[in-house]
Amino acid sequence: MYAKGEVRSIKGGPGGLVFTGDATGLVTVWKLAAAGATSGAAMAE
């Protein structure tokens, strides 16, 4: 997981979505990879 500033908020959403908010005010939406996925990335922006 990447953030420009300190992550201040993490919220789980439907369908494996994860929302993060950092100290710069940037909100990012992440989608968790399926268990056992071999794509090399655990999460994608």
DSSP per position, 1-45: ---SS-EEEEEE-GGGEEEEEETTS-EEEEEEPPTT--SS-SEE-
Which of 24, 30, 36 is CA-nearest to residue 10?
30
Indicate the pTM of the whole model. Answer: 0.61
Which of 29, 7, 27, 9 is CA-nearest to residue 18?
29
pLDDT digits (tens, 9 = 90+) for 1-45: 777 788 889 999 998 899 999 888 999 999 977 776 655 555 544
CA distances from 29 to 19, 32, 43 (A): 5, 10, 10
